[in-house]
Chains A and B, each alone.
Chain A
């Protein structure tokens, strides 16, 4: 158990809908990262937050957005969902967001029908 928690574990929704995935980092970690894992694209970095501020951006679609709250938990919002958005979404956290190891949560499996 990495100490990173993610909810929900599974999510099934229809095309065009909007969902919110939630992540709580390990105690003491200030940085949160979001990743998407799909069969065709593999594991891809989406976005990073550090202490409430966006730190780095990867292959995140404009339909997706994220934020990190004062209590350091983070939410990933996915809107106008398409079938191709079906994937595992992982959150990871690290102490300083710059020079430390990343620890992954168990993931949220999103299925878009």
Chain B
């Protein structure tokens, strides 16, 4: 079955710097890759997603890139702010909106 790895497990950056989180997946049939942000005591919140027919997607300070050949995708956050501090999860699915397999998560700390 699908396996998703995520690195780093923890990441600390200074406010205003960029943060990059990388995920790799094992099943080349995966076609949908969402990213979720989870704040303490809350459920995961969808922040951006990308489908396999697209190489890059951007939404204000957040971007996601996908390299299907290498089977990895990355989350880029620019101009980080303290409110970006949270745990970020990547996921992969071979059937778009179904059967998500999540990565283990990255705890991002943005230091003021």
Binding site for B on A (CB under 8 A): 2, 4, 31, 42-45, 48, 55-56, 58, 90, 92, 94, 96-107
- Asked whether, in the complex, the Cβ of A58 is within 8 Å of the Cβ of B89, the reply is no
Are A97 and B43 in contact, with the CB atoms below 8 A? Answer: no
Between A90, A101, A105, the greatest number of chain B beta carbons within 10 A of the residue's beta carbon is seen for A101
Asked if B42 lies at the interface with its beta carbon under 8 angstroms from chain A, I say yes
Neighbour of A99 across the interface among B36, B96, B102, CB < 8 A: B96
Enumerate chain A residues within 8 angstroms of B104, measured Cβ to Cβ.
42
Contact residue among B89, B98, B102, B103 (Cβ-Cβ distance under 8 Å from A97): B98
Give the number of A-B contacts (CB < 8 Å): 58
Contact A98 B97 (CB under 8 A): yes
Choose one: A55, A58, A104; the contact of B44 (CB below 8 Å). Answer: A104
Kindly state the interface size class of chain B when it binds its partner. 20 to 34
A-B contact pairs, 19 of them (CB 8 A): A2-B45, A31-B97, A42-B102, A43-B89, A43-B102, A43-B105, A48-B99, A55-B98, A56-B98, A97-B98, A98-B95, A98-B98, A99-B97, A101-B97, A102-B46, A104-B43, A104-B44, A104-B45, A106-B42
A-facing residues in B82-98 (Cβ within 8 Å): 89, 95-98
The answer to whether residues A96 and B44 also contact, given A42-B102, A42-B104, A43-B89 and a CB cut-off of 8 A, is no
Is the Cβ of B46 less than 8 Å from the Cβ of A103?
Answer: yes
B99 to A45, Cβ gap below 8 A?
A: yes
Query: Residues 28-60 of chain B: 1 if any A CB is under 8 Å from the residue's CB, otherwise 0?
Result: 000000101000011111100100000000000
Closest CB in chain A relative to B79 CB, distance in Å: 25
